[in-house]
Amino acid sequence: MKFQLPILRQQGIEVIAKLNGASGVYMSHNCRTEGLGRYLFFFQILYTDFLLYVCTEFDSCLFQIKKMPCEHTCQSTGKVEKNCMATNHWVKDRVMDWLAKDNTIGATELKKSLEDQYHLKLSYWVVWDGRNKALEQLKGKWDDSFECIFSFKAEVEKTNPGSLVDIEYEKVGKKMRFTRMFVALKYCVDGFVNGCRPFLGVDSTHLTGKWKGQLASATAIDGNNWMFPVCHGVFGSETSDNWEWFF
């Protein structure tokens, strides 16, 4: 913050000045800047409840505040708080550690925590976007998961021979679009055949992430009356065709 300070009189290199609202005129020291041939004048201006430090150059009429110990309540400061430079990337960098510990924290809770810690006002949508960017960096993008699906199939078949991973897709233009997937691990099937009751409970639930659909599963009951997962699948909706394919 720079402002003009009316000079009352000048005695050599000592300048006596007064700022409106000051209870008195207080002059500290002045010092010569090395190699520039100019002087920097430092003032201590005593208000009724605080001490203000300002300085200026010898050949300038502008003074700059160097230390302001009191709370800023002027209109321009309030405007900065409401329209700060806290972008979605700024939010992302500061919520990364929080989401790494608990990725279920919502944008509303993050917004309140950031405002309390940094004393500023944030838009909900800026925090929401920053949270999504942080989750993408931690867990990867939603779209990339479709590109990794065949790597998942190869890894399952490599580490658990005899497992069944069936992936179906359709061609749309020059691109391949995922439609449904079925997964039955070999050890889960063997566990059902050898150690569970001859009963299967089949149901599905809604997917609530970015991509909607149904998560279907077949579950058995083992000798301890605990649920034992046998297989699961993902498809778009509960249709006769999808259920027939799942069975």
Is the model's pLDDT at 188 over the cut of 90?
yes
What is the length of the chain?
Answer: 247
Distance, in Å, from the CA atom of 79 to the CA atom of 111, rounded to the nearest integer, reads 18
Distance, in Å, from the CA atom of 218 to the CA atom of 247, rounded to the nearest integer, reads 9
pLDDT tens figures, 127-174: 999 999 999 888 888 777 787 888 889 999 999 999 999 998 888 888
Bigger pLDDT: 19 vs 117:
117
* pTM for the structure as a whole: 0.55
**Mean pLDDT of the region 43-55:** 46
Closest C-alpha among 247, 179, 170, 167 to residue 214: 179
Closest C-alpha among 178, 165, 182 to residue 218: 182
Closest C-alpha among 88, 90, 79 to residue 121: 79
Which two structure tokens, joined as six digits, stand for 37? 């041939």
Bigger pLDDT: 30 vs 183:
183
Distance, in Å, from the CA atom of 215 to the CA atom of 235, rounded to the nearest integer, reads 7
Rounded (to 5) percent helix, strand, coil in the chain = 35, 35, 30
pLDDT at 96: 92
**Mean pLDDT of the region 5-29:** 41
> Left (φ > 0), alpha (ψ -120 to 50) or beta: where does 155 sit?
alpha
Helix, strand or coil, per DSSP, at residue 83: coil
Cβ-contact 215, 204 below 8 angstroms: yes
Cβ-contact 182, 231 below 8 angstroms: yes
Is the model's pLDDT at 205 over the cut of 70?
yes
> What band does 202 get if pLDDT is binned at 50, 70 and 90?
very high
